Amino acid sequence: MIADPYQVLGIDPSADSEAIRKRYLALVREFSPERAPERFAEIRAAYETLRDPVTSLGMRLFDVRFTETFDKLIADEKQQFCGKRIGTDVLLSLADV
Amino acid sequence: METIIGIDLGTTNSSVCLIRNGKPAMIKDADGSAILPSVVGLDSQGRLLVGEPARNQAILAPERTVKSIKRKMGEATTVTMADTEYSPQELSAIILRTLKDRAAQELGYPVSKAVITVPAFFNETQREATRQAGELAGLEVVRIINEPTAASLIYEAKADHRERLLVYDLGGGTFDVSIVQVEGGVVEVLSSHGDTHLGGDDFDELLLDFVCQRFQEQHKLDLREIPTARSRLLQAVEEVKKQLSFDACVELNEEFIAERDGAPLHLKMELYRYEYEGMIEPLLKKTIQCVDDSLQDARLHAKDIDKIILVGGSSRTPLVQQMLETQLSQTPHQEIDPDLCVAMGAAVQGALIAGQDVGAVLVDITPHTLGVQCQGFVHGMPSPHEFSPIIHRNTALPATRSELYSTMFQGQKAVEVKVFQGEDEDVRRNQFIGGFVLDGLDESADAGSEILVRFDLNLDGMLNVTAVERSTGLEDRLTIKNAITEFRAEGHEEARAKLAEIFGDRTSPVSAARHPVSEEPPLPEGERAAIKEAIQLIAKATNLLPQVGEDDVQEIQELIEQLEDAIANHSLPDIGSYRERLEDIVFYLQDA
C-alpha cells in the first residue's frame, strides 16, 4: 500500500491547494533531489496525488484509511471553493472523469 | 570545499564556468575569450589543435579537422581525422579536456569533477556517450543536466513570487524548449520538447546549397564537390548568416574559390535577409510547434508565461524573435549572453552539489517516455510491437515506476525485456535503448505468470531496469547492450591511451593542466589578423597551383611552406615578408 500522501507531506486533509503547494515547496527545499533522492521521490508522489483535486477527493471518499464523514468532506470542499473561481485545469480534469 | 566546474559542451562552441564568491565566473583563455570553438584538428606535423586554431585550419585542411561532433554523439560511428579513426566520444573528450585544463590553469590546482550539460531532448544513448567523453577526459561527471534547465537556473526569481519561464534554446546543432516554474526557492521544469538535430548548422547548409546552386547555374561547377572550396564557403556563409541578423543584405565575396580550364573563378553575390528567412522558415516552424506542444504538456496558455528566455547563438536570428513574439504575444529576453548562460547554470548546479548555497533547488523531468515492448495492440490491431510505457514523459526525476506483465503460455522459459524510448504506440517508431532476456522462468507455471518490470531513472536521466518473476523471485537487471555501452567495455582503455598520446605526456599535476595549445602566448590583434590573411592567401595560392608552370609550382610551394612555418612560429616579420612575396606571384599569375 502506498503511504498516505497527507502523512508524507505532514498536512491536514482539509488543507487547500495553496497550502499543499507551499508545504511541498518547503519540503523540496529541505529534501532536494540532489541531497535526498528517495525522500524527494516520496514527497513528489504524495504531492502529485494531492495536486489533482479529483484523485485526492476520490482517495478521501474511498480509501479505507480515511474515515471522515461526508459532512466533513463537503464542508472542506465548500470552504476551498467558496467564493473562488474554479481553475480551468480543474474543470478540464473533471470533464475527463 | 571541492571545485565542481560547469561545462557547456556545445555543437559549435563550448565553455567552462565556475562559482567564485558566490557568482558564476566564465573561465577565459589566454586571448580573453570565454568561448572555445568545438573544433578539433591535427596540424601538418600531427600536433593537436583545439578551438580557434583548429577552426582556422578547417578551411585549408578539412580532412584534418572535425567540427560539430556533438551531432554524432550516441552514434556507433567513427570520424576520420588525418587518416585515423576517432569515435565521437574521443573527439568530445579532447574538447572537454581542453576546458578542464583551462579551469585548472585558472585555479592553480587540478580539477576532477564537472557538471556537463546536454540538450534536454538527448536520449539515453546520447547522454551515456557524453558521460563517457567526460570520463575519457579524466573528469568525474557528477551530474548531466539539461541545457535549457541550466540556463533557467541563473535567472533569479523574486522571493514569494511565482514565475513561469519559457526557455527557447536554439544552438548550433540542437533545439530544446522547456517550461520552467520558479517559486519559493524551487525551480521546477514542467515540460520539455525539442529536436536533437536542428540548429544553426542546418541553416548554414541551406545557405551553402543556395549559394552553390546559384554558382552552379553561372559556372556549371558544383563547389560542394571540392572539399577545400566547400569548407571555405561553409565558414563564409556562417559569417554571412550572422551578419544577416544585423543587415538586410550582405555581400559574399570569395576570390579564387575554384578554377576551370586554367581560369580562376570568383564567387561574388549579394544575399538578402528575406531570401535567408525563406530558407529557414520551415525549420523554425518546427520549433514553434515544439513550443506549442510544451505549453500543452504543461497545461498552460501563452498568457501564463511570464518571461521568454533565449539561449543559444541561433536564437539571435531576428525571425526567431519575431515568430516567438507572434506566437506568445510578448518580447523574448536576452539579458544574459545566450552563448554563456548554459555553462553558468551548470556551474551553479555544480556548486550546489558541492554543498554551496548558491541558488534554487532544481526539480527536472524526463522529456521522453520510457517503456518496454510487449504483445498487445497497435492502432487497435493485435501486434507483438506494442509500446507499453512505464515512465511517462515530463515525470519528475528521480523516478521509480513499475508495471506487471505476464508470460504468454504455459511452460514459457524466458521473456525478453526490450526497452524503448519515445512517444509512439509502436515500438518500431521509438528509439531502442537496450534489452535483456530473463531466462530460467518456472516452467511449471501456467500462462500468465507475473513478471514485474521496474524502471529507475536517476537525476542524470540514466535508466536502470530490473525484471523479477514474482512466483520465484528470479531477477535480472539491465546491462544495456548496445554499441555505446560496448564501447565502454572494450574501447575505453584504448581510447584513454590514444588521448594521452595526443595530449603528450606530463608529469606534475599542474603542468598536466597545460597542453600545447594553451601554452601559446596570447595573440595580439594585429598578429591574429595577419595570420588569418596569410591563411586565406595560402588557400588562394593552392587553388592556383594546377594551372601554373612547373617552376612556378615549386616556387609557390616553397613559399607556402615557409609561410606556414612562419605562422607556426608566430614570427610576424617572416609572415609579412613571405606573404608579400607570395602575394606578388599570385597577383602576377592571376593576370597572366
Q: Note the pLDDT tens digit of each residue in B93-105.
A: 999 999 999 999 9
pLDDT-based confidence at residue B545 (cuts at 50, 70, 90): confident
Region B496-507: mean pLDDT is 68
**Distance from the B357 Cα atom to the nearest Cα atom in chain A, whole angstroms:** 11
CA angle, residues B173, B176, B182, in degrees to nearest 5: 145
Region B6-24: mean pLDDT is 93
Phi-psi bin for B410: left (phi > 0), alpha (psi -120 to 50), beta? beta
- C-alpha B74/C-alpha B71 separation (Å) is 9
Q: Residue B501: how many CB atoms within 10 A of its CB?
A: 10
Q: Is B296 on the interface with A (CB under 8 A)?
A: no
Beta strands in B147-224 (DSSP E): 163-170, 175-183, 186-195
Here the cell at position A3 is: 503511504
**Distance from the A86 Cα atom to the nearest Cα atom in chain B, whole angstroms:** 15
- C-alpha B118/C-alpha B149 separation (Å) is 10
**Distance from the B145 Cα atom to the nearest Cα atom in chain A, whole angstroms:** 12
Chain A partners within 8 Å of B397 (Cβ): 33
Give yes or no for residue B73 having a pLDDT over 80.
Answer: yes
- C-alpha B193/C-alpha B365 separation (Å) is 11
ipTM: 0.78
**Distance from the B363 Cα atom to the nearest Cα atom in chain A, whole angstroms:** 7
Q: Is A44 on the interface with B (CB under 8 A)?
A: yes
- C-alpha B71/C-alpha B126 separation (Å) is 10
- Residue found under cell 554563456: B340
Q: Which of B184, B362, B459 has its CB closest to that of A25?
A: B184
**Identity at B88, one-letter amino acid code:** P
Q: Is A61 on the interface with B (CB under 8 A)?
A: no
Contact B184 A34 (CB under 8 A): no
Chain B partners within 8 Å of A37 (Cβ): 398, 458-459
Q: Is the distance from CB of B44 to CB of B24 less than 8 angstroms?
A: no
Region B226-233: mean pLDDT is 88
Give yes or no for residue B107 having a pLDDT over 60.
Answer: yes
What is the overall mean pLDDT for chain B?
A: 87
| More confident call, B479 vs B507 | B479
| pLDDT number for residue B516 | 39
| pLDDT number for residue B318 | 93
Annotated catalytic residue, options B101, B169, B339, B469: B169
| pLDDT number for residue B577 | 85
pLDDT-based confidence at residue B118 (cuts at 50, 70, 90): very high
Give yes or no for residue A34 having a pLDDT over 90.
Answer: no
Chain A partners within 8 Å of B364 (Cβ): 33
Contact B398 A33 (CB under 8 A): yes
Here the cell at position B88 is: 565521437
Q: Is B186 on the interface with A (CB under 8 A)?
A: yes
Here the cell at position B289 is: 510547434
Q: Is the distance from CB of B126 to CB of B15 less than 8 angstroms?
A: no
pTM of the model: 0.82
**What tens digit of pLDDT does each residue of B236-273 get?**
999 999 999 999 999 999 888 888 888 888 889 999 99
| pLDDT number for residue B16 | 96
| pLDDT number for residue B328 | 94
Q: Is A32 on the interface with B (CB under 8 A)?
A: yes
Beta strands in B458-528 (DSSP E): 463-469, 475-477
CA distances from B531 to A16, B424, B570 (A): 68, 53, 9
